[in-house]
Amino acid sequence: MSAECSSYLNTDKVLVSGFSCPRTGGDVRAVYCCGFQDVKYCCDDPHSFFPYEHSYMWWLSVGALVGLSIAAVVLFAFIITVCVLCYLFISTKPRNKLDTGLSLQMTGKTTC
């Protein structure tokens, strides 16, 4: 089984001539033509969309997970802090109005 990769213009606008997969001196399992309009290569998986090793993507995923975990912990701590402060604010409010010692009722008749 083999595949034909047609010629294409790379990112530098240089014409790259077409080639057959697998390439001579290359991996014999790479029988499919993969890639995009500006880069084509032989690969062993017809659903492969990236010409490089995928191991670095695993580290990006781990880094993203660690970053999201830290952000989630910070957000959780912020929410807990706000809840505790609201509870303390509400629970320390006086239940009854304080007696100021001043009477606001009229004690006698006034004449004008």
User: From first to last of its 112 residues, what are the pLDDT tens digits of the chain?
Assistant: 678 889 999 889 999 999 988 888 888 888 888 888 888 888 888 776 655 555 555 566 777 888 889 999 999 999 999 999 999 998 887 766 666 666 666 666 666 5
C-alpha pair distances (Å), 32 with each of 10, 25, 44, 49, 73: 19, 15, 6, 12, 45
Please state the pTM of the whole predicted model.
0.41
